[in-house]
Structure 1
Amino acid sequence: MLALGNKARSGTAARSGTARVAVVAGLVALTLLLPAATGANPAPAAPSGPAAAGSAGFAGVGVEVSELVTTGTYDLGLINLPGLPHKVELTGVVHRPKVSLGRRLPVVVMLHGQHAGCTYDVDGFVWPCPPGKFFPSYRGYDYLGKDLAAHGVVVISISANGVNYRSGDSDDEGMTARTRLIRKHLDLWKEWTTRGNGPFGRQVLSAIDFSRVGLMRHSQGGEGVIRAAEHKGADLKPYGIKAVLALAPSGFKRRSVSSIPIAAVVGSCDGDVGPGAVKYYDDSRYAQAGDVAPKYQVIIQGANHSFFNTTWSPSGGLGGRDEWYSYDPKSSECAVGKPTRLTEDGQRKVALAYFSSFFRLHLKNERRFAGIWQGTAKPPRSFGTAEVPISYHAPANRRLDLNRLAVAADLTRNAVGGAVSQRGFQSVSLCGGAAPQPRNCLARSDIEEVTAPHQETTGPKPGLGVVALKWAKPGAIFTNHLEGAARNLSSYRQLRFRAGVNFTDKLNPVGKPQDFSVVLTDGAGKTSSVRAGQYGKALQYPALIDRLPGNRDLRIFFFHQQTIPLTAFTGVNLHNIRSIEFHFNTTPKGSIALTDLTATR
């Protein structure tokens, strides 16, 4: 159950800050130990699994991907990489439109995570692998690569088994080496597409626009891509990094990304690295003043860690398995067979829709996907029925920060200079963030990052700071007054905030959602009220992920975003709004936490 540790490294015990669960309900969570990571000369071709590239119909192509895409592999042997004492394979697979010559298309580079380097029957201390024993993790995203290629993007998935080999011996778990490996492949492709040489000859001449580069990484590869995108992607210049998708990334160093759109993607049933990747969103929001790149937090309900990669999955035929283990399959929403749990095929269909649309939005400016990623439009039916709540941190030039609700000063004066007040609450306090605030909001003494992933228990950096509100009877009011130019909300389209329901507080009835009214008052004293709960899932009671021995519920204290259209507030003058109030008059009692009150265009 909850094997929240990274895949085992050769000769090194798995050790991770974000990928651990110390004691939950008095039990030490088991660490999932797959065969240790090694490496070898790759097999000429590797299975891409049954998650078919299929039809790209969700984007309206209407033909089979295979008719539009050509796929090729390359293996240039083993090379020396700075910082590693052993050689690394220079191996990859490329998916590109059949008509790509001279088109200068955007490119996405994909990197898998920490996994077995050789097949599981090979000793984990062996590197390179014996002939025919190379584990093809890099082929596990073929279904994604082919779909993107069908929509005019060149996709290169690279192998990093040699980096994974003893990566735990390095100071940063091999993250710098992963960045250098990405750089090496980009340099090769720059030469090949400029000169028309290399393994693909003139077929790829002028095929790639290196000013439009996307990075997609999984697991420890996910943190590797964050490392590559740090400091505005300086380590990969002159290549222009325009979009980063970090899929279930580990979090050894708590890195952040500025000036580049980033999506931090988490599966709610991830039994390997857990849900701690949400900190990449939290940490990147305000890492740079005036940042005009959007940030996204994406939580795929019912998704685990491994099924995104076909070679890591049971149906891949290479010994993969579902890393989530349920103590109580009857109650666990992550148990296999439950309608709330995604199958291999279902999970990859969700990935296909969201990952493809993310890169097409940010590399090709396909604006029809913007509303989905900004939370203002419902995904089309072709995106599937899985719940995928997205939190959107708008660019600085499209966002008015009203109150971050993170530190003590935010309870008396907000970001626009207005007075802040509270009345009628049982308590108003701050949690998460820096001392002297408590490191997390939850009441139980055994809370770990799996249950409070936005916050910290023992980590070196503070987690997300929020305001915790408790009311024992209806009538409590939380008020933010607006001042100066901030009173004019007429150019903004949405009011947003993030919230979470504290499942450890008995003021919240088990399984019942919370709700309150949002009231705008204008300069003439006119008011307009809407019910917050109808505009998202942030006020839902957290799902029962599992029931641990001792009848202890395991739930996750996620912060989701509520997005209320300002057009919902009728009868008030949006050019002159005096205050925004939260009236806790809908449910008789409750306990929630709030952060990030903003208006967005």
Structure 2
Amino acid sequence: MDPGKPGRYRTKTGEYALASVRLPGFAAPVEMRAVVVAPVGAPGKRPLALFLHGRHYTCYKGREDVTGDWPCKAGGKPVPSHRGYLRDQRLLASQGYLTVSVSANGVNGQDFAAEDGGAQARSSLVRLHLARWAGWAEHPGSAPKVVREAPRADLSRVLLIGHSRGGEGVNRAALDSLTPPPATADGYHGPVRWHIRGTVLIGPTVFGQNPVPDVPSVSILPGCDGDVSDLQGEVYVDGTRAVSNGTALHSAVYVIGANHNFFNSEWTPGQSAAPAEDDFSDDPQHHDPVCAKGTATRLTADRQHRAGSTYIAAAARLFLAGDDRVRPLLDGSGRRAPSADPARVLSHAVGAGRSGGFLPDGGVSVTGARLCAAVDPSPARACLGRSTKGSSPHFAYWATDRETARSAVALRWTRAGTPARVTAGTPVSLTGSTALRLRLFVPPGSRGTQLDVALTDTSGRKAKLGRVTVDGLPGSERTASYWAQELRVPLTAATGAGLDLASVKSLELTPRSASGRAWLMDAWGWRPGTPAVRTDALPRVDVGRTTVDEGDSGVRTYRVPVRVTGRGGSGQVRVYVVDPATGTAENRLVTVRPGAQGVDVPVQVKGNTRYGTDVSYDVLVKAVRGAVVGSYRGGITVHDDDPAPRMTVTPVAGRVTEGRSLKWRVSLSEAVDVDMSAVFQVVKAGAPELSTKDVPAAWLRDMTGEKPDPERPLSKVEFYLWTDIPPGRTVMDITLPTVRDRVRESTESVRFRQIDPRTGKPQPGGLVLTGSVLNAS
């Protein structure tokens, strides 16, 4: 079975453009534009595959000028990012799928202020399009011409494909289709008349680390991604373990040598209408051995896109058509699709009925190895030290300096035969499994690591299952190549030894290599097949944000708005409360139920009359078991409602003899609780002006990077003076040194004007520094 081969249908392409829509939190309307590729002559209703591109330039003018504006300014044209998946769409349409790719420039141009990076807005946009398709399926006469001429869509079989932030957007759309988000944050408020059967996430972001456990997924991880370089999309796999019933397949597909952009032809140089680039920027003086252009491992744009198309089609065949023959391409079985050649593509998976499980996050004890933390500032706890060259997608940073119960087992040995034992807190059942499946990685570039695998049941009976051999992936200090490969050992020996597979106590890994390192992510019982997905009714948690005024006195208590909805029973989430002063977070495990308070985070706000900055008391939530999370981040933002102090400047030494320093004193009318800065840019003064030879050469170089020669007025040099007044203080001085020379000259002057450091433009009503330097001879 090769899903990359074109099917038997001809295809037809067209676009539709509907009235723009308003989405919460965005000032400008968002476009409702899409390109459709449909099969010609396909009978009956057809499954629908919807594509959503990621964050990219929004507008362009000519071959060099690109912006992130929305709407586009006069003369600018929207970047047609939604047309970048036409190759994928044509392949799917030839196989009988109806496809649509949605434009999201209006979200990209406005998501900078969204707390979730625009995930909710993208979800709203996707569901607005799906609602239109549901309506057109019922009333074809109301559809645009390209839709009327296509087969009707079968909205009971929908696949969502998202690239980059589009991946996080379709993940949220899948969640929002199961349990609705808060109405005030959502741009779609109608009924759900579709069924999301799966998602494909290409180089995705997952800022919320909130995957949907009961919707199958395939995450494509590009080994040379220069944009989402930590390959955080692995969390769409790891983050689903033990959260729900485990029937949905969650696969990661690692494409060695692929970058981020080339899965979209409109982000690919030489193929795009707008300017485009290779996101993996290479240093010509120090070529990356894996990802530099021309290396054996780096894929060309065409080869990369072909591999991507093949695995998108594999997901469609499995999730929409229920064809189990393609599962081995996605579930770690080691099969390859010829159409993806010569790309080297690896896969692993969780879920799909994998039973039992030695899960380091789930209360195991470890001997002969180390239970390590995915994210922790302590080298003794962290799975990978700071000196590690490269990184691991499994340990992608979230939002806190450390995380609880996100772990792996780290093995390190200097001689063969020293076993590492992982003992489950509760006996594991492997009944019905045909093999034990391990997800384990070794250092990139390493070869021939061998481990013997054994199991022990609760009666103490032990069975040696066999030996596994694993090589490291190609990697460099710039790649996330510490990625787990799927290794399987048959359970035949366990059955022959009389092991009680219903009550397994421990897993033992014994190195047979002389020395080495390895990291175990998890181990599960496995059997072939794809079980029917069961969607549990899980409680959903959404964290909101409230902004309050600080006030002048007294202490007020506010509570972080946390909403728990759904039809299900109880679940557990981990709540992180961030200290705004230190950035560190405390966490606790909380049981949640729909309609119950559950997550109670009080914040005390003390009023005062001193000027300061707004302060955010942030709360973050992550699902642990029996729950899902939508808006993962929120809190209380305390608005400082005190007026800023008045800033003045006074010359301390405003007229000096050459060789001495000019000095000005910047003062505040009162002390405040925050740094107060002032930046001044040199501007043209009355002639003659202080020149580059009137200040010390070393000082000029440190301040501007310029040399004194040729001599020129300071106003011809990009030159700034600045000061920061710390909290609690009211004055700071600014100095400008001069040098004494033997040249007889007139009094020289210099002038500085205060600018806005954010824009670099003159600050209205800003301060001015002036000084004069007299000749010493």
Fold shared, TM-score > 0.5 on shorter chain:
yes
1:453 aligns with 2:389: no
Taking the TM superposition and a 5 Å limit, the aligned residue runs for 1:66-465 are 68-100=10-42, 103-120=44-61, 121=65, 124-125=68-69, 127-130=71-74, 133-196=77-140, 197-200=142-145, 203=148, 207-230=152-175, 233-235=178-180, 237-274=192-229, 275-288=231-244, 290-317=245-272, 318-327=274-283, 330-376=287-333, 378-395=335-352, 398-406=353-361, 409-411=363-365, 422=367, 425=368, 427-432=369-374, 440-445=382-387, 451-455=391-395, 459-460=399-400, 462=403, 464-465=406-407
Mapped to 1, the partners of 2:66 and 2:442 lie a distance apart of 47
| Structure 1, gaps ≥5 residues long | 1-55, 413-421, 504-509, 534-538, 548-553
> Is the CA contact 2:253–2:330 (under 8 Å) kept in the aligned structure 1?
no
Structure 1 residue 405: Cα displacement:
2.2
> What do the CA deviations read for 1:493-539 (whole angstroms, capped 9, x no partner)?
22111112256xxxxxx733422112357989685442211xxxxx4
Is 1:589 the counterpart of 2:534? The answer is no
Deviation of 1:159 (Å): 0.4
Distance 1:286 1:99, change over 3 A: same
Whole-angstrom CA distance in 2 between matches of 1:471 and 1:303: 33
The CA deviation string for residues 234-271 of structure 1, in whole angstroms up to 9 with x for no partner, is 34823211101111112322222121101222101000
1:433 & 1:301 partners in 2: Cα distance? 25
Q: Distance in 1 between matches of 2:111 and 2:3?
A: 39
1:100, CA displacement in angstroms?
4.2
Give SS of 1:106's match.
Answer: strand
Identity of aligned residues (%): 28
Aligned to 2:526: 600
Contact 1:488/1:574 (<8 A) preserved: no
Q: Which moved more, 1:379-388 or 1:197-206?
A: 197-206
User: Paired residue for 1:544, among 475, 483, 486?
Assistant: 475
In the alignment, does 2:520 pair up with 1:563? no
For residue 68 of structure 1, report the CA deviation from its aligned partner: 1.4
- 1:415 is matched with none
Aligned AA for 2:103? S
- 2:112 match: secondary structure: helix
Mapped partners of 1:333, 1:256: distance in 2:
30
Instruction: State the 1:61 CA deviation.
Output: 5.0
Q: Deviations over 1:26-57 (max 9, x none)?
A: xxxxxxxxxxxxxxxxxxxxxxxxxxxxxx97
The letter for the 2-side match of 1:91 is R
More strand by share: 2
Deviation at 1:111, TM superposition (A): 0.5
Cα 1:488/1:155, change in 2 over 3 Å: closer
Matched residue type, 1:517: D
Other structure's SS at 1:556 match: coil
- Which residue among 453, 462, 468 is the counterpart of 1:532? 468
C-alpha root-mean-square deviation of aligned residues, in Å? 3.3
Q: TM-score, normalised by structure 2?
A: 0.60
> CA, structure 1 residues 232+438, in 2 after alignment: closer, same or farther (shift >3 Å)?
farther
Q: Secondary structure at the match of 2:59?
A: coil
Question: What is the distance in 1 between the residues matched to 2:37 and 2:16?
Answer: 12
- In 2, Cα distance between the equivalents of 1:576 and 1:58? 36
- Taking structure 1 as reference, are residues 441 and 542 closer, same or farther at Cα in structure 2, changes over 3 Å only? farther
Distance 1:117 1:586, change over 3 A: same
Asked whether the 8 Å contact 1:256–1:287 carries over to 2, the reply is: no
Query: For 1:110, what is the secondary structure of its paired residue?
Result: strand
* Cα displacement (A) at 1:388: 1.7
* Contact 1:333-1:546 within 8 A present in 2 as well: no
Query: SS where residue 450 of structure 2 aligns?
Result: coil
**Residues 568 and 92 of structure 1: CA distance in aligned 2, closer, same or farther (over 3 Å):** farther
Partner AA of 1:588 in structure 2 = A
Distance 1:253 1:159, change over 3 A: same
Tell me, in whole angstroms, the C-alpha distance in 1 between the residues paired with 2:211 and 2:461.
43
Structure 2 SS opposite 1:119: strand
**SS at 2:120's partner residue?**
helix
- In 2, the alpha carbon distance for the partners of 1:226 and 1:498 equals 24
Letter in 2 for 1:194: E
Which letter maps to 1:495?
L
Partner Cα distance (2:195, 2:139) in 1 = 20
What's the secondary structure of 2:50's corresponding residue?
A: strand
Q: Once the 2 structures are TM-superposed, how far is the Cα of residue 60 of structure 1 from its aligned partner?
A: 5.3
Residue type matched to 1:173 in 2? Answer: G
What's the secondary structure of 1:469's corresponding residue? strand
Return the alpha-carbon distance in structure 2 between the equivalents of residues 273 and 310 of structure 1: 18
Equivalent of 2:453 in 509, 518, 541: 518
Q: Which has a greater percent of helix? A: 1
Structure 1 residues 76 and 486: alpha-carbon distance in aligned structure 2, compared to 1, 3 A threshold: closer
CA distance change for structure 1 residues 117 and 435 in 2, over 3 Å: closer, same or farther? closer
Shift of 1:399: 2.0
Distance in 2 separating the partners of 1:403 and 1:367: 26
Larger radius of gyration: 2
Contact 1:406–1:595, Cα closer than 8 Å, also in 2: no
Equivalent position of 1:501 in the other structure: 442
TM-score of the two chains, using structure 1 as the length reference:
0.76
> How far off is 1:451 after superposition?
1.4
For residue 244 of structure 1, give the secondary structure of its aligned residue in structure 2. Answer: strand
| Highest RCO, 1 vs 2 (Cα 8 Å, sep ≥ 6) | 1
Letter in 1 for 2:386: R
Q: Quote how far apart the aligned CAs of 1:277 are.
A: 1.5
Are 1:519 and 1:581, in contact at CA under 8 Å, matched by a contact in 2? yes
Q: Cα–Cα, structure 1 residues 107 and 329, in superposed 2: closer, same or farther, change >3 Å? A: farther
* C-alpha spacing 1:401/1:438, structure 2 compared with 1 (3 Å): farther
Q: What residue identity is the alignment partner of 1:285?
A: R
Contact 1:58 1:383 in 2 (8 A): no
Give 3-state SS (helix, strand or coil) of 1:515's partner: strand
CA distance in 1, matches of 2:412, 2:67: 55
Residue 458 of structure 1, CA deviation: 7.2
Contact 2:370 2:409 survives alignment (8 Å): yes
| SS of residue matched to 1:350 | helix
